[in-house]
Amino acid sequence: MLKKFLFSTVIAGLLNACVTSPTGRNQLIFMPDNQIDQMGLQAFDDLKKTKPISGNASFNKVVNCVAHSLTQQIGGQWEVLVFDDPSFNAFALPGYKIGVHTGLLKLIDNPSQLASVIGHEIGHVLAKHSNERMSQETAMNAGMSVLQASGGLGATSLGLLGMGAQYGVLLPFSRTHESEADLIGLDLMAKAGFDPTQSIALWQKMERASQNAQQPIEFMSTHPAHATRIQNLQQHMANALQLQQQANASGLRPNCTP
């Protein structure tokens, strides 16, 4: 009886949590949005306390210009900061927060390449990927608890299933998140008037920069291989160019030079 009750409870929760992402992909999301937003706000506050904020006027000018141009397309009061960090990184968090590292700003060639990165990071927020990842992990833990309560798995088998679940469920979703954020960001930057072809130029630069670093094979990575990422962007480029032409025709021509 307990086994049936636990199983029915988990299945009912999963069925009621199915939603659709901005690209039309089915998602499992059931965590409260305000809880995820609060986690984003707390994470950003912690970063501001522990990571130095850049005072470089040129960096701040271009980042705020690009971020403002992008967020105008989606609304919300976004806080944008440049962090003094040499890594090629940027991020957006639930709760309307954006951070860009100075290392990335030294790598890019133009504002459109920066728009590609920030648009990608905003894409994660728009698609609620943080909520989806937490919901997946919560559902997986609940499923493990059901199996343990029912006596269906011994400790050794449970450990093996956990490894299979990690590489068979969670990591592929993470790669899916990255690919989906690429496409959402591509459309977003184009709608804001930036040159979407620069997204490919950016990832080609990233590929060259990572050649001297050890990169995990795609199956074991939470990020698509650079070649896969570039191919996906190329397949959607015609539509993005149309969006850019429409944006430019309506007067959206971001001038985000430092």
90-93 vs 26-28, strand pairing mode: unpaired
Longest dimension (CA), the chain: 67
The kind and range of the H/E element at 118 are helix 111-126
Task: Provide the token pair at 145.
Answer: 């608890």
End-to-end Cα separation, the chain, in angstroms = 67
Q: What is the DSSP letter of 53?
A: B
Beta carbons of 72 and 87 less than 8 angstroms apart: no
Write the single-letter amino acid at 159: G
Catalytic residue status for 121: yes
The DSSP string of 9-24 is HHHHHHHTTEEE-TTS
Q: Which residue in the list 121, 132, 178, 180 is annotated as catalytic? A: 121
Beta carbons of 51 and 82 less than 8 angstroms apart: no
With H, G, I as helix, E, B as strand and everything else as coil, classify residue 112.
helix
The kind and range of the H/E element at 79 are strand 79-83
For residues 234 and 248, give the distance between their C-alpha atoms in angstroms, rounded to a whole number. 21
For residues 6 and 214, give the distance between their C-alpha atoms in angstroms, rounded to a whole number. 44
Residues with catalytic roles: 121
